[in-house]
Amino acid sequence: MGLFERGMRSLPAFEQLCADIRAERTPVSLTGLGHIHKVLFVHTLCGALSRRAVMLVADEAEAMKVVDDLTALGAGALAAAGGIRLAGIRADAAGGAGQNARRGV
């Protein structure tokens, strides 16, 4: 467990959030976090709860960045345990078709 994860798990607010999710008081929304903090938060939350998460982002470019960051954090191990599922992204008619074609999505 990394420094961020240890710090988050020691916060009463984080433990309350985990309790709320376990009690199915969802959905949960976070605002005001920078990109990497969102990724670290979701990674820590999924690890603490042994659950999957849905993370909505503004566009395909941000989604690609999230996938790359989660992969770098070792989300592959969590995905194997059912914690995080990295799904393909489909572009709308407005753009992203080139990236999707390159990725085989």
The confidence score (pLDDT) of residue 17 equals: 93
Residues contacting residue 28 through CB under 8 Å, at least 6 positions apart: 17, 20, 21
pTM exceeds cut of 0.85: no
The confidence score (pLDDT) of residue 94 equals: 46
Cβ atoms of residues 91 and 60 within 8 Å: yes
* pLDDT per position as a tens digit, 53-104: 888 888 888 888 888 888 888 765 555 545 455 555 554 444 555 555 555 5
* pLDDT per position as a tens digit, 13-57: 999 999 999 999 988 888 888 888 888 888 899 889 988 888 888
The confidence score (pLDDT) of residue 22 equals: 94
The confidence score (pLDDT) of residue 64 equals: 82
The confidence score (pLDDT) of residue 53 equals: 82
